[in-house]
Amino acid sequence: METFDCYLNIRAPYNLREGAGIAADRQKIRQDAMAPVSKAYFERTADRRLRRNLCQYPTDASAQEAGMSLTEYEHFVYGACKLFEEDPMAAWLQVRADQQRTVDHLNSCSTVRYVGNRTDITFSTQGRIWMNSDGQTNMPSGEVYTSPVEDSVQGTVYFSYPCIYQGNEVEGVTLWVKDAYIEHWEARQRKAFLDYIFGLPGTRRFGEAAIGTNYGIQRMTKNILFDEKIGGTIHMAIGQSYLQTGGKNESPVHWDMITDMTDGGEIWADGEKIYQNGKFLW
């Protein structure tokens, strides 16, 4: 992470539960040991000294996790990556152009509000940068994202999709935020894992706010590479910020949590409604 120029991570898991059931004290030892590696990764990818891409090779383990046959899962992965398009490269360049309009508008605003099912949360993006994630650093991609101003987040957010981190699945997560600090949290199941995570440095502040725009992905597969891109969703990540957006929060954790916006969800920017029911209003 400190010296390489390029980093290509091809995920091809054969056991998605390797990390499950490991005692919290052992998990902390690993978190502490990996902290310098994670810090180098975020710093060097921010200024492009380290160019990287993350992608997925279909395996039985991932197919089973998604509730699909291997053939069905292969079709899902290739479709999400636009490999069935006549010209996949041209298709991704069109994604870049389409999303740039959204990024340009958001970068002209300073306050964003997510409103939806049990969610009403506001944050400042003053001085921050919204990024166009168009396949250059994740494949598949299809999202726009930023890091909220650390001391600006206020409100409540409910995540309708299961929240998965290091093989641990937590459902029905609600976070209550006051003066940018996550004061209280609840979950329908596995709240103990949330308790553990919120005891780690930097995890009670948000490192990312984002909007999923890949409408070729319309179901959860319990794989964050795909799930955070689901068209018609938003997600927020606790922990580590993206330095390239101007974020300053540091943490050994970056955990994306997703909620559906297709049933009455709204996004407001500087007091103007720009998004409703999972789609931008342009």
pLDDT tens figures, 22-76: 888 888 898 899 989 988 998 999 888 999 999 999 999 999 999 999 999 999 9
Q: Closest Cα to residue 232, out of 205, 261, 254?
A: 261
pLDDT at 42: 87
The count of structural domains within the chain is 1
What angle (nearest 5°) sits at the alpha carbon of residue 77, between those of residues 194 and 141? 65
What proportion of the chain, given as a percentage, has pLDDT over 70?
100
Identify the domain containing residue 222 by its residue range: 6-280
DSSP SS3 for 94: helix
Q: Closest Cα to residue 112, out of 227, 205, 236, 202?
A: 236
Length of the chain: 282
Per the domain annotation, does 73 fall within a domain?
Answer: yes
CB-based burial label for 94 (10 Å; 0-12, 13-18, 19+): middle
Per the domain annotation, does 1 fall within a domain?
Answer: no
- Alpha helices by DSSP H, the chain: 24-46, 60-66, 70-80, 88-106, 191-197, 224-227
* For range 258-280, the mean pLDDT: 97
pLDDT tens figures, 62-76: 999 999 999 999 999
pLDDT tens figures, 125-180: 999 999 999 999 999 999 999 999 999 999 999 999 999 998 889 999 999 999 99
* Cα separation, 37 vs 165, whole angstroms: 18
Per the domain annotation, does 229 fall within a domain?
Answer: yes
pLDDT at 27: 84
